[in-house]
A and B are shown apart, each in its own frame.
Chain A
Amino acid sequence: MTEVDASKMGGRQSASVAACDKRYFDALADGRFEVPQCRECGRFHFFPRVCCPHCGSQAIDWVRASGRAVVYSVTIVRAREGADYTVVLVTLEEGPRLMSRVVDIPVDEVRIGMPVRARIDMVEESPLLVFVAAPGGQE
């Protein structure tokens, strides 16, 4: 398994890194997008935690996500320098919501309700989960 430089993980510059964060970003660096699922109540959650935010159980499994998601909301950040980019919230097929970016299409073509698919890019030497349009995917 690829070890992630903890000091750069998730863009966070800190000596102290949560074990869950390390687990998540190490998997991403290894090419796997995994999300935590509660063994007790069966529900997924995100961001990763040591205890289930739904039922409180500490019995957490890591499960490979399908990568299928739908854009829940979108904003275009109008950068003062460089190209404009999107910030989106997507709802994963498994249920949780997370922040990301939709890439590879013009920023003003990203729409709420649009089906998207996860991809792991390397950005500034760190793995970054992004999404691309998934035409024909479920709405």
Chain B
Amino acid sequence: MNTASPRGSIAILGTGLAGMGHAGGATEQEIIAQASCMAIERSGLRKSDIDGIITSSLTSPWWVMRMAEYMGIRPRFSDSTMFGGSAFIADLKIAQMAIDAGECENVLICYGSTPRSAPSSSRVNQMRAELDPQPYEHPYKAFNPVSSYSLAAARHMYEYGTTRKQLAEVAVAARKWAQLNPDAFSRKTLTVDEVINSRMISDPLTVLDCCLVTDGAGAIVVSSSQRARSLHDKPIYVLGSGYAHWHRQISCMEDLTATPAVESGRKAFAQAGLAPADVDVVQLYDAFTINPILFLEDLGFCSKGEGGAFIEGGRIEPGGAFPMNTNGGGLSCVHPGMYSIFLVIEAVTQLRAEADLRQVQGAEIALVHGNGGVLSSQATAILSSVL
């Protein structure tokens, strides 16, 4: 595949987290600003150096303007494309295009939300539904997003014999990683039986197959790789990235067992000039336990249908051969509505060897993969501490 964008032309500088778990009364705008200030400071930059901003919101269509106003940024470049939860990985491609084109130098990518401390009112939820009408799904009262992922899980189990136990192992592995991460929200010991026997939400997924609902904000700053080396002693290069979206509603997904990760992953690997075997640590958006199984297949870590067997036997747990979702994931660490910014931050932490108890020794190349909507949008990036 031809890729127009060069390999590794941008790098991640500082990162910031704020309001993890419970924001204690702060608004989403406040915790995003706190995470952003931290990311800018850790980038060796001042706020006045930020000339690009990318953010998006589940609620406000004016979000990038509101955040820029709040931060006192007059951006030369801004973007707020709504990809759902995959957005902040897709944004790495958008930032690269803007920086490569000379439209801006230092881009702030940020997101946060407070669904735990300040759940949306039923009025806001109804407004969201009205602004994104789905008259051919809505009358059937699917418990979304869970039911849409349940439909995909059920089909995967039917076609490939993926088991309920394999789904549960994804959640158990996430919890074991979370127990090594002081920032993680859920750290109590979890067993396969507890996952399977917890309250069924929408068959075959139980409440423990579903991601958390927590507060949290994350921010990163990206610059050209050339500039990054002069600003930061450990820039993390974005070797390749790609995104794809093929549908919005689950009823329009052509094959429930094959996601657009096939395309986003192919683009990212092609740009990076790498293959799955080159990757040391992966962070895959685990909104539901079926997700990493689908993504491992679609990204080429195993063949289609083998994802369930791939994760078995502790392979993705701490100490396993395939370290995955090392912060505890959306299942056990943090999940404020959209999650992919945290995948990037955890990968950067690993590649800088700053992950303490959960550090994957010698990790040089990380793959981050984000998911949005109901398996609708997918975004992949390959990050490295060396160019």
Alpha-carbon separation in the docked complex, A101 to B139 (Å):
10
Closest chain B residue, CB of each to CB of A12? B135
Instruction: Decide yes or no: A73 and B158 within 8 Å by CB, A10-B135, A87-B142 being known contacts.
Output: yes
B163 beta carbon closer than 8 Å to chain A:
no
Closest chain A residue, CB of each to CB of B204? A75
Check B158 against A76 for contact (C-beta < 8 Å): no
Question: Taking beta carbons and an 8 Å cutoff, which residues of A are in contact with B?
Answer: 9-14, 18, 21, 25, 46-47, 72-78, 85, 87, 89, 97-101, 112-113, 123, 126, 128
Cβ distance B42 to chain A, nearest Cβ, rounded Å = 44
Alpha-carbon separation in the docked complex, A11 to B129 (Å):
11
Alpha-carbon separation in the docked complex, A85 to B140 (Å):
9
Alpha-carbon separation in the docked complex, A36 to B29 (Å):
45
Instruction: Decide yes or no: A112 and B139 within 8 Å by CB, A78-B200, A78-B202 being known contacts.
Output: no
Check B154 against A10 for contact (C-beta < 8 Å): no
Instruction: Decide yes or no: A21 and B139 within 8 Å by CB, A73-B154, A75-B151 being known contacts.
Output: no
7 closest Cβ pairs, A-B complex: A10-B135, A75-B150, A11-B139, A99-B251, A73-B151, A73-B155, A76-B203
Instruction: Decide yes or no: A11 and B135 within 8 Å by CB, A77-B147, A78-B202, A87-B142 being known contacts.
Output: yes
Check B139 against A10 for contact (C-beta < 8 Å): yes
Cβ distance B65 to chain A, nearest Cβ, rounded Å = 25
Alpha-carbon separation in the docked complex, A11 to B199 (Å):
28
Q: What are 25 A-B contacts defined by CB distance under 8 Å? A: A11-B135, A11-B139, A12-B133, A13-B126, A13-B130, A14-B133, A21-B135, A46-B251, A72-B256, A73-B152, A73-B158, A75-B150, A75-B154, A75-B202, A75-B204, A76-B203, A77-B142, A77-B147, A87-B141, A87-B202, A89-B250, A98-B251, A99-B136, A101-B140, A112-B158
Check A99 against B203 for contact (C-beta < 8 Å): no
Q: Which residues of B contact A77 (CB under 8 A)?
A: 141-143, 147, 202
